Structure 1
Amino acid sequence: MPPRDDAPGPPTDPAELRRLFFRVFPAVALAMFGAALDQTIVAAALPAIARSLGEVERVSFVVVLYLVANTVAAPVYGRLGDAFGRQRMLLVALAVYAFGAACCALAPNLAALGAARMVQGFGGGGLIALPIALIAEAVPPRERSRFQGWIAGIFTTASALGPVAGGVLTELFGWRAVFLLPLPLAAIAAWLAATRLGGASKGQRRGFRFDWPGLVLFALFVGPALLALDQARRLTPGALAVGAALALLAAGALLLLLRQERRAGDPLLSPDLLGEPTIWRANLLSALTSAAFVGCIAFLPIYFAAVRGLSPAQAGLALLPLSAMAGVGAVVAGSLLARTGRTMAWAGGGLALAAAVLGLVALGVGVLPLWLLALLLALVSMGFGATFPMVQISVQVAAGRERLGAATASVQFNRSLGAATGAALLGAVLFGALAAAGGDTAALFVALVNRGPDALAALPDAARAGFRDDMVAAFRAAFATAALLAAIAAWVSTRVPLRRV
């Protein structure tokens, strides 16, 4: 078993810890903010991109291709950061990210935009894992949790600002402005990283050879897997058939990848690292949490529109407690970790709370007052947020300092895959329940997903009421599924061997 990340290193004096953290944090905050912002800001520009480039049916690939490249890149930067130094690789990631964003802004057609988004995503893959690992390098594990509020605040702020900033930029300056915004952010982040991170580790290069076959096989697994999940969300027989073929390709690539990584000298995905019980169980917990969390976020706007009759702006406000309170949960859990040293006890408690409240939401989905539903969703979000610092710190401690980047990247990869799986799973549950209801319910649901509330405008009152009843039953099944995922994650938290840092 590798040495744990609990050896004497950074100081533990509170004043010195604050100095260390605030030396590193400004240098990595803009990088994390840009990467987190880019996950949501482009969504607001998709309709304008479709109108401009004339390929409405394929415009979602602008998001999917970025996610594929982002997920593939995370372990690459983690492994190279361990070998060549995280400061150096952060500068490389910022350069690739900015170049991809500039190419997106200049793209003449959707194919060029998709290719540029892959470049941007490959840069963005390093802008979350590397900064978190750099912070972990400066601050010891237990005290690290004291600063989780700042890290959570970056993601919470970016998630809240993304759709708003994307909408404003698109309306005032056109959709290309969305891809110009990262350029000054990346330039400032690169300057801060170059001037403030001089004390970062220079890496452990000793005879390092990059695992190119592993990278190719990993890409052949991740790309088809995420594309299969995207096809599954389209809810048509043809798309499901394509998704099944892609899933088979992903499964074959995964088998070959596992064989390659067992014999590689410097594996991209170390079997020893990922097979360590604390790491794989904490990552499984993280994937399940992301599946339930992102699955809820993905389909709640449809619930608010179809069942509650809210406008898009009102639905955005109603969704805010679920998207924003995760940061509060991370802060509270981080404070408890710093005081007690306990990790999974707080994560398990948060997940149990989320599972129980989601169960209540499932039971009362059609009758709960909107204010009470918002309060319950805030509690769900806090419960999910409590897992964020616990998973990250547990994985980093179990991995040891020499493999800090690879371990941090594994969390990012599992969160991305869990998020995509959760959205697909809850979409399948919703569609299955609506298809079982019979009539035109499933077709109306697909129209609602594709066209928004306008799809229901021409329906008679009786048909709209019937559709609402069917939607209530379908969302009851979806929320129950999310509750089950959270409950399984809570059980997994009890099986993680590392309980205290």
Structure 2
Amino acid sequence: MIPESGSPHGGDDGTPPQGFVRPSLPTLFLAIVPPLFMGISDQTIVSTALPSIIQSLGGFDRMALVVIAYLAAVTVSAPLYGRLGDALGRRRMMCVALCMAVVGSAFCSLSVSFEMLVASRFLQGLGGGGLIGLAQALLGQYVGPRARAKYQGYLATIAMVASTFGPVAGGLITGHFGWRWIFALNIPLGILAFVLVMRLPPRQTPREKIAFDYPGFLLFAGFVATALTIIETVKRGAAVHSTLFLLVAIAGAILMLLVLRERRAAEPLFPGDLLGRPSIFFSMLLAMCHGGLYVSLLTFIPIYFALGHGVPPRELGLLMLPVTLGIGSGAFVTGKLINRTGRTTLYPAISLSLASALLFLASVGIETLSPWQASIYFAIVCLLLGSVMGVVQITVQTEAGIKRLGIATASVVLSRSLGAASGTAFAGLALALTLDLPAGASATSADISAEMLQPGFHNVFRLLGCIAAAGAAMAFLIPRRRI
């Protein structure tokens, strides 16, 4: 049995309610580790398979949609899972999330067109939006405050392994078996996770009344969908088309309604009282910049290696290993420095400034480096990016206080996911606008030469350099600088 277990439905001192059943530690971890691993690896495993996907299905100028569709679905569904998990039971909602993720993965592996793959990735993301957050919440449900910190450290290690595993496994699986298998392997893993989650004790307390900002949720989802549609419209060369102006007007109207709704909602999707605090507000913006940087790099670096240097899928995974290890190592070193000095925002402010300089240098001469030299170069960039999220979490949680810990942490996840989706979309736009592609949207990698790619990737790295500089500015602006 788990020591110091508690439940949010128990007493104020953390004691569990009458009849509360505590699972054993192996039972709990066997239940939450597979969903957590699936949710994190699904965000990155597709990156090294993208060259093979576009060779099979086409859609080079829209390839970022394979990543964006998943991230957008995670962004809009994560807060819904969190609130429904509080009200209806986290075990039940985890089962729902797993079912959607498995069904989405099955459709991804069976996709016969680029459009079907994007739609299937969105469905997969609707499930993925609950996997990570509900895994963390289930740990908090069954483990008391004093023991929770130690077990959260274990989950952080698993998260780093999953993040590193994704691109490496994606390249190796694609090279040996084909890109469809990176999705098909989710099916047995998801079914196993479902069985293990069902072994957890059922909810012991009555259902709560659901107080969720559904109008705000729908407006937010509509705004995200419209914004991504605008970016895709610009990609197709409709910069001055009437459709574009109509979409911009619709996005503006939805955003205005969303702001008005959030000001009046009793349980707003975006807690205004927290966002009104400068340390939290600038931390959220920093999280957005970090999400855009990291996911864009993991998405487009494999494309650069595959099409710019002709690297086969099997080697792509190995080339991405230093890159993915870089961010984990950066997070580890930053954690040690914070623990020793108490300083927080100093590290991302300096690191992102250096990362910005390196990305601007990449925009003028990265093609002169061999693939392995470029891999080490980007590993250094990601090492610097590793300084960000630990600082954001510590700052936001300290500012919010223990009573608002859950909603503050969820807001960080939402900000990072939104930044990842929008950053990847704009990076894809920067690449697509410089390419003179054959007519039609089904261009494959065979239609793209290394010479055609160079100006586009120069623009991508310039854009990411600007995002890194903006992130450094946000870190400098955070008032709380120590813990």
The Cα of 1:383 is off from its aligned counterpart by 1.0
Q: Distance in 2 between matches of 1:396 and 1:197?
A: 29
Report the equivalent of 1:414: 415
Structure 1 gaps of 5+ residues are: 1-7, 11-19, 435-441, 457-463
| Equivalent position SS for 1:497 | coil
The Cα of 1:149 is off from its aligned counterpart by 3.4
Kindly indicate whether residue 28 of structure 2 is the aligned counterpart of residue 37 of structure 1.
no
Report the equivalent of 1:443: 436
The Cα of 1:283 is off from its aligned counterpart by 1.7
Check conservation: 2:167, 2:320, Cα contact below 8 A.
no
Report the equivalent of 1:426: 427
The Cα of 1:71 is off from its aligned counterpart by 1.7
311-320 or 41-50, which moves further after superposition? 41-50
Q: Judging changes above 3 Å, is the alpha-carbon distance between structure 1 residues 428 and 351 closer, same or farther for their aligned structure 2 residues?
A: same
The Cα of 1:482 is off from its aligned counterpart by 1.9
| Equivalent position SS for 1:396 | helix
29-38 or 116-125, which moves further after superposition? 116-125
The Cα of 1:41 is off from its aligned counterpart by 4.5
State the AA in 2 paired with 1:224.
Answer: T
Q: Judging changes above 3 Å, is the alpha-carbon distance between structure 1 residues 482 and 88 closer, same or farther for their aligned structure 2 residues?
A: same
State the AA in 2 paired with 1:486.
Answer: A
The Cα of 1:394 is off from its aligned counterpart by 3.0
Q: Judging changes above 3 Å, is the alpha-carbon distance between structure 1 residues 263 and 121 closer, same or farther for their aligned structure 2 residues?
A: same
Check conservation: 2:54, 2:444, Cα contact below 8 A.
no
State the AA in 1 paired with 2:477.
Answer: R
Counterpart selection for 2:231 from 229, 232, 237: 229
Q: Judging changes above 3 Å, is the alpha-carbon distance between structure 1 residues 111 and 159 closer, same or farther for their aligned structure 2 residues?
A: closer
Check conservation: 2:37, 2:159, Cα contact below 8 A.
no
Check conservation: 1:73, 1:126, Cα contact below 8 A.
yes
The Cα of 1:333 is off from its aligned counterpart by 2.2
Check conservation: 1:145, 1:389, Cα contact below 8 A.
no
Check conservation: 1:221, 1:250, Cα contact below 8 A.
yes
CA deviation map 1:278-312 (0-9, x unaligned): 33321211111222333334333454456545455
The Cα of 1:30 is off from its aligned counterpart by 1.2
State the AA in 2 paired with 1:71.
Answer: T
Structure 2 gaps of 5+ residues are: 1-11, 15-23
Q: Judging changes above 3 Å, is the alpha-carbon distance between structure 1 residues 193 and 276 closer, same or farther for their aligned structure 2 residues?
A: farther
Q: Distance in 2 between matches of 1:446 and 1:408?
A: 45
Q: Judging changes above 3 Å, is the alpha-carbon distance between structure 1 residues 156 and 403 closer, same or farther for their aligned structure 2 residues?
A: farther
Report the equivalent of 1:493: 475
Counterpart selection for 1:151 from 155, 159, 162: 159
Counterpart selection for 2:445 from 452, 455, 460: 452
Kindly indicate whether residue 349 of structure 2 is the aligned counterpart of residue 348 of structure 1.
yes
Check conservation: 1:344, 1:499, Cα contact below 8 A.
yes
State the AA in 2 paired with 1:351.
Answer: L
State the AA in 1 paired with 2:212.
Answer: F
Q: Distance in 1 between matches of 2:96 and 2:417?
A: 22
State the TM-score, normalizing by the size of structure 1. 0.74
| Equivalent position SS for 1:325 | helix
Check conservation: 2:59, 2:444, Cα contact below 8 A.
no
Check conservation: 1:351, 1:490, Cα contact below 8 A.
yes
Q: Distance in 1 between matches of 2:158 and 2:172?
A: 22
Report the equivalent of 1:72: 76
Q: Distance in 2 between matches of 1:310 and 1:368?
A: 14
| Equivalent position SS for 1:236 | coil
* Aligned ranges 1:190-205 → 2 under 5 Å: 190-195=194-199, 205=208
The Cα of 1:82 is off from its aligned counterpart by 4.4
Kindly indicate whether residue 142 of structure 2 is the aligned counterpart of residue 164 of structure 1.
no
Kindly indicate whether residue 221 of structure 2 is the aligned counterpart of residue 219 of structure 1.
yes
| Equivalent position SS for 2:444 | helix
The Cα of 1:491 is off from its aligned counterpart by 2.0
Q: What is the count of residue pairs matched by the alignment? A: 459
| Equivalent position SS for 1:391 | helix
| Equivalent position SS for 2:270 | coil
Q: Judging changes above 3 Å, is the alpha-carbon distance between structure 1 residues 448 and 312 closer, same or farther for their aligned structure 2 residues?
A: farther
179-188 or 208-217, which moves further after superposition? 179-188
Q: Judging changes above 3 Å, is the alpha-carbon distance between structure 1 residues 377 and 109 closer, same or farther for their aligned structure 2 residues?
A: closer
State the AA in 2 paired with 1:165.
Answer: I
Q: Distance in 2 between matches of 1:45 and 1:480?
A: 22
The Cα of 1:74 is off from its aligned counterpart by 1.2
* Aligned ranges 1:136-285 → 2 under 5 Å: 138=143, 147=154, 148-165=156-173, 168-170=176-178, 175=180, 178-195=182-199, 205=208, 207-232=209-234, 234=235, 236-237=237-238, 245-285=246-286
Q: Judging changes above 3 Å, is the alpha-carbon distance between structure 1 residues 406 and 86 closer, same or farther for their aligned structure 2 residues?
A: farther
State the AA in 2 paired with 1:495.
Answer: L
Residue identity (%): 36
Report the equivalent of 1:128: 132
Check conservation: 2:327, 2:386, Cα contact below 8 A.
yes
Q: Distance in 2 between matches of 1:194 and 1:130?
A: 14
The Cα of 1:73 is off from its aligned counterpart by 0.1
Report the equivalent of 1:290: 291
Cα RMSD (Å) of the superposition?
4.4
CA deviation map 1:78-100 (0-9, x unaligned): 33344555445334322433344
State the TM-score, normalizing by the size of structure 2. 0.76
Check conservation: 1:85, 1:203, Cα contact below 8 A.
no
Q: Distance in 1 between matches of 2:187 and 2:458?
A: 43
The Cα of 1:380 is off from its aligned counterpart by 0.5
Report the equivalent of 2:465: 483
The Cα of 1:118 is off from its aligned counterpart by 4.0
Check conservation: 1:82, 1:203, Cα contact below 8 A.
no
State the AA in 2 paired with 1:350.
Answer: S
